[in-house]
Structure 1
Amino acid sequence: MIAWRYLRAKRAEGGVSIMTWISLIGITLAVAALIITLAVRAGFRAEFVDTILGANAHVTVFNSITVDDSGRTSRVMEDYKEKAERIRQIPGVTRVAPLIKGQVMANNRQYNTGAQVFGISLEDLKGIPRIASGEDQIGNIDDFDRGVAIGKGIANTLGLGVGDKIKLISPNGTKTAFGVSPRVKVYEVVYIFSVGRYDIDGIRIYMPFKEAQSFFNREGVADELEVMVAEPEKVDDMALDLLRAGGDRTVLWTWRDASGAFLRALTVEDNVMFVLMSVLVLIAAMNIISGLVMLVKNKGRDIGILRTMGLTEGSVLRVFFICGALTGLLGTLFGVILGCLFALYFDPILAFVSGASGGQVWDASVRGIYKLPALLQFKDVMSAIALSLGLSFIVTIFPARRAARMNPVEALRYE
């Protein structure tokens, strides 16, 4: 009762309502900023990992390099069908697709761009989640066997649409008496996909497996096997089984090997951002000390009277602890509500900011993915609540103890 009376006291009555409001607003904004930051960071990581797992092999199986008598190196698989069948028998493996890979120059009229061609069967192409389904896909994937599928970035660069022709130029073409002549072939674009990754959509082309074997001089062989598993996070635990099934010369390259450095950098950045935002919460919580110190100073006579009436040091400490803790509790509550609402409506807010600024706030060519989602996670909200309440309660103890230890005689000496 006493604590609530002090918090509601007007300045003329010796209260510090202005300082209380400043502390409350500071903690609210700090907690909201922490929750929004954690949600955006979690959303970015989830979207980035999903684009990796939804458009790339979880494990790539290929052969080690061999050198023939003439000094030429090769790592092609002659027994790719048998090897793929053995790998399919491993528990946890959901799909195994033989691939042909090659670099080409893609051309349409006066436009040119470099591209990476993946030779794959229609059935296996349909098994790639981000390729087979999505809002931005154009065309019919079932027509794949009579043309090629290209990324949205290539389509935009070359000015292509479904039904247009794309010219592919490979430097490793037909061998002649005068050397190797480039191989040039024109294909119909039957499908345009978008996996949500700027770097993939801008360079990737899918070609029917048999046609890719012919185009890249890989008749009867495959370059590698694309393996998808049910639990990509546990792919390292399957490495030994995959190596045994692959046999001699088998080499593995997992999605963690390909993107592990970037993901580790994201983890470090997440930790740094949490520390920085925690400092912001601490600064906001320090305002509670200022308000309580002023409150204790203004209520010195009241403390002396209460002590002479029999109120114990512990009771005085609880009065002022409740004053500070209640400010922290309400600030945390309002901050959680504000932060969660901001995270839930992050997409329209970001769109509004982009429109108001007259430019594109999120540049996919720099950040890799097309959108920045906010993923609100229970553990992030709870960590923000625990941090805010913990700091609020800790900083409240010191001025509350000072009030509790105040000598009633000194407090009333000049009254």
Structure 2
Amino acid sequence: MKSRWLPFEWIVALRFLREGRMQTLFIVAGIAIGVAVIVFMSALLNGLQSNFVRRVLTAQSQIQLLPPKEVARRLGAGSALEDAVVQAPLQRLKSIDQWQSVAAQVRAMPDVEVVAPTASGSALAIRGEASRAVSVNGIDPALYFLIVALPEKIVRGSTRLTPGDILIGTDLASDLGVGVGDKLRVSSASGGDQTLMVTGLFDLGSKPANQRTTFVALRTAQSLLGLVGGVSSLEVKVKDIYAADVIAQRITAATGVEADSWIATNAQFFTAVQAQKTSNTTIRFFVGLSVAFGIASVLVVSVVQKSREIGILRAMGISRGQVLRVFLLQGGLLGLLGSLGGAGMGLVALLLWQRYALNPDGTPLFPLAIEPGLFVASLLLATLTGLAAAFAPALRAAQLDPVVAIRG
């Protein structure tokens, strides 16, 4: 009864699909599998990429501002001087000039979220007769922890950092035989020497990093490293991590201070991320192409099978435009039905992945963000692909001569 209220093109399109049930079923199943592959692979690769980027950026800032390097220059002129070999001088630890004003200028930029000063340098951690070379990082916890998620890496103790505290890696703690609450003497080449209390142990996921990295309060590091009132770098967090390279160039142009983005310092990793994006796009393109050919082939066969019916309909007075719309509707409906089934299959596959693809400790391999936008995009893509694939068969059907079609 409801079909009486449907437009003529819809009635004919649905009837043609019902009459070729097996063809319709197979093409809908093929589309569903294609859409499920697109949904599953897109979510999987996006989750993998986000996990890699998160792991990289939990241990470093997105942009780092550094003082200019010292450069050796020739004095005078002459052939002897021109032939001389000029060696690069040793780089002394020094502060960014007028870093407070630079930090304020960078913080005022619309693309920047957080700017945190740090004072970093080498020192010696001593416990009794044992000693280890370490990297001392003086930070302002309130700002630095907004950039680097160090609290998530704490395995024992806390992130408390008063002027007399120090955070060290688990491997350094094991090497020196210290734990939370123990004292550790830290001595630097500049003559600074302090005894600090271990308030927390962290695990950065890398043994070399856990053996060398330490965190102290900013003022403590400035005193140890001879940078009284100064900082060795400014750590910057931006709104769009993939625009970090462009923002770093803007910062250098505006302040004159060297700015390195995480993209530049992790060039090989970023190249791998871009390659992963390209592979994801390639997979989606070829799956969509196979879906389009499947729909087109079925509709071409349908045009041949329904030639007599089309001729009769044309003789009864329906226009070429109506015939065209009948087959376009078939393509769109096939794409829509297949995409709905494929979205459901993809969702089930993602839920099963999260349920059964686990680390040895029972946690997920990496978090998967099931975004509604991905499913909506897949529905639109499959439906539009169906319409596009149906265009050539629909045009052929619309151009059939009624007399020739009826004679067969």
TM-score, with normalisation over the residues of structure 2?
Answer: 0.71
My pick for the range that moved more, 124-133 or 255-264, is 124-133
Aligned-partner Cα distance in 2 for 1:201–1:96:
22
* 1:33 to 2:37 alignment: yes
Aligned-partner Cα distance in 1 for 2:39–2:296:
24
Aligned residue identity for 1:402: R
SS in 2 for 1:141: coil
Aligned residue number for residue 180 of structure 1: none
Aligned-partner Cα distance in 2 for 1:358–1:251:
43
Aligned-partner Cα distance in 1 for 2:133–2:347:
42
Aligned residue number for residue 334 of structure 1: 341
Aligned-partner Cα distance in 2 for 1:83–1:377:
47
CA drift at 1:73: 1.6
Aligned-partner Cα distance in 2 for 1:24–1:385:
13
* 1:237 to 2:250 alignment: yes
**1:119·1:211 contact (CA, 8 Å) conserved in 2?**
no
Aligned residue number for residue 304 of structure 1: 311
Mapping of residues 17-32 of structure 1, within 5 Å: 17-32=21-36
**2:151·2:159 contact (CA, 8 Å) conserved in 1?**
no
2:236 to 204, 228, 247: 228
* 1:76 to 2:93 alignment: yes
Residues 7 and 225 of structure 1: CA distance in aligned 2, closer, same or farther (over 3 Å): same
**2:135·2:213 contact (CA, 8 Å) conserved in 1?**
yes
* 1:61 to 2:69 alignment: no
* 1:117 to 2:132 alignment: no
CA drift at 1:327: 0.6
Residues 397 and 352 of structure 1: CA distance in aligned 2, closer, same or farther (over 3 Å): same
Residues 375 and 326 of structure 1: CA distance in aligned 2, closer, same or farther (over 3 Å): closer
Aligned-partner Cα distance in 2 for 1:194–1:351:
26
Aligned residue number for residue 192 of structure 1: 201
Aligned residue number for residue 271 of structure 1: 278
**Aligned residue pair count:** 375
* 1:7 to 2:17 alignment: yes
Aligned-partner Cα distance in 2 for 1:144–1:96:
17
* 1:392 to 2:386 alignment: yes
1:286-345: per-residue Cα shift (whole Å, max 9, x none)? 2222322332333333233323333333333322332222111222233345445655x4
Aligned-partner Cα distance in 1 for 2:375–2:120:
46
Aligned-partner Cα distance in 1 for 2:173–2:357:
26
Aligned-partner Cα distance in 2 for 1:160–1:18:
73
Residues 238 and 223 of structure 1: CA distance in aligned 2, closer, same or farther (over 3 Å): closer
CA drift at 1:413: 3.4
Residues 231 and 71 of structure 1: CA distance in aligned 2, closer, same or farther (over 3 Å): closer
Give structure 2 stretches of 5+ with no counterpart.
Answer: 1-10, 74-86
Aligned residue number for residue 81 of structure 2: none
**2:137·2:215 contact (CA, 8 Å) conserved in 1?**
yes
1:205 to 201, 206, 214: 214
1:318 to 325, 330, 340: 325
Aligned-partner Cα distance in 2 for 1:398–1:66:
67
1:281 to 288, 291, 296: 288
CA drift at 1:32: 2.8
Aligned-partner Cα distance in 1 for 2:364–2:159:
33
SS in 2 for 1:237: helix
SS in 1 for 2:180: coil
Give structure 1 stretches of 5+ with no counterpart.
Answer: 10-14, 176-183, 244-249, 363-370
Mapping of residues 140-179 of structure 1, within 5 Å: 140-142=158-160, 145-151=163-169, 154=171, 162-163=179-180
CA drift at 1:273: 1.7
TM-score, with normalisation over the residues of structure 1?
Answer: 0.69
Residues 284 and 219 of structure 1: CA distance in aligned 2, closer, same or farther (over 3 Å): closer
* 1:97 to 2:117 alignment: yes
Aligned-partner Cα distance in 1 for 2:26–2:185:
65
Aligned-partner Cα distance in 2 for 1:104–1:375:
47
1:346-387: per-residue Cα shift (whole Å, max 9, x none)? xx73341347x999994xxxxxxxx34336273x55554443
SS in 2 for 1:406: coil
**1:59·1:228 contact (CA, 8 Å) conserved in 2?**
yes
Aligned residue number for residue 365 of structure 1: none
1:117-158: per-residue Cα shift (whole Å, max 9, x none)? 232145467544444543865321115655532346x47986
Residues 123 and 298 of structure 1: CA distance in aligned 2, closer, same or farther (over 3 Å): closer
CA drift at 1:61: 1.6
SS in 1 for 2:98: helix
